[in-house]
């Protein structure tokens, strides 16, 4: 097996869906105090979402609160409620090529701009006959890490452990 040409640097986001963002906001924003930083709406992806975040810098993680524009249409962003998780990847094209060659199934659409402006692609929750490796029931978003995040994570890894 050849060396893996990419690294998973950390958690970029979790995406939570519900029939209505109001209930999600009541918990995450009103009660827990998570900051809303923006919004994203896409008819093609059938999603209306609030982009929230916790942490800062290399430790910042998005919490996307999503509701379907039309609950009867696909994709059904509210089913399951934990819709997907996103992982920071230091070299997204290399990761996709390497994983594809090893039978990982990706969703249609390839690498594209995501809601937060980073290049993304998704590992399908289920494998297929042609690509037997999926996300074991979980939709996984691979997100291209910006150079500043790669450098910050490299610096953290090189720092001596706190005692």
Q: How confident is the model at residue 86 (pLDDT cuts 50, 70, 90)?
A: very high
Q: How confident is the model at residue 163 (pLDDT cuts 50, 70, 90)?
A: low
DSSP state letters, 100-139: HHTTB-B-TT-SEE-TTSSEEEEE-SS--SSS-B--TT-E
Mean pLDDT, residues 119-138 taken together = 95
pLDDT of amino acid 87 = 97
- 110 pLDDT higher than 60: yes
CA distances from 41 to 10, 38, 106 (A): 26, 11, 23
CA distances from 122 to 110, 113, 133, 144 (A): 8, 12, 13, 12
pLDDT of amino acid 115 = 86
pLDDT of amino acid 116 = 85
SS3 90: coil
Name which residue leads in pLDDT, 160 or 104.
104
Give percent of the chain with pLDDT exceeding 70: 98
* Model pLDDT for residues 51-72, shown as the tens digit of each residue: 999 999 888 999 999 999 999 9
pLDDT of amino acid 47 = 96
Name which residue leads in pLDDT, 160 or 94.
94
Q: Does domain 8-158 have CATH number 3.40.190.170?
A: no
Q: Which residues pair with 42 in a beta bridge?
A: 47
Mean pLDDT, residues 117-130 taken together = 96
pLDDT of amino acid 1 = 57
* Model pLDDT for residues 20-41, shown as the tens digit of each residue: 999 999 999 999 999 999 999 9
pLDDT of amino acid 157 = 85
Domain ranges of the chain: 8-158
pLDDT of amino acid 160 = 83
């Amino acid at each position: 097996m050849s060396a893996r040409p990419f690294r998973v640097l950390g958690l970029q986001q979790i995406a939570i869906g519900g029939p209505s963002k109001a209930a999600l906001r009541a918990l995450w924003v009103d009660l827990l105090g998570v900051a809303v930083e923006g919004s994203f709406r896409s008819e093609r992806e059938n999603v209306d979402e609030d982009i929230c975040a916790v942490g800062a810098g290399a430790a910042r993680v998005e919490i996307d609160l999503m509701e379907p524009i039309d609950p009867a249409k696909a994709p059904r962003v509210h089913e399951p409620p934990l819709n997907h998780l996103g992982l920071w990847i230091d070299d997204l094209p290399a990761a996709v090529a390497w994983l594809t060659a090893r039978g990982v199934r990706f969703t249609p659409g390839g690498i594209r701009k995501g809601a937060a402006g980073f290049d993304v692609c998704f590992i399908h929750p289920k494998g297929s006959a042609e690509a037997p490796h999926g996300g074991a029931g979980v939709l996984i978003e691979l997100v291209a890490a910006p150079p500043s995040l790669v450098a910050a994570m490299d610096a953290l890894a090189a720092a001596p452990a706190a005692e």
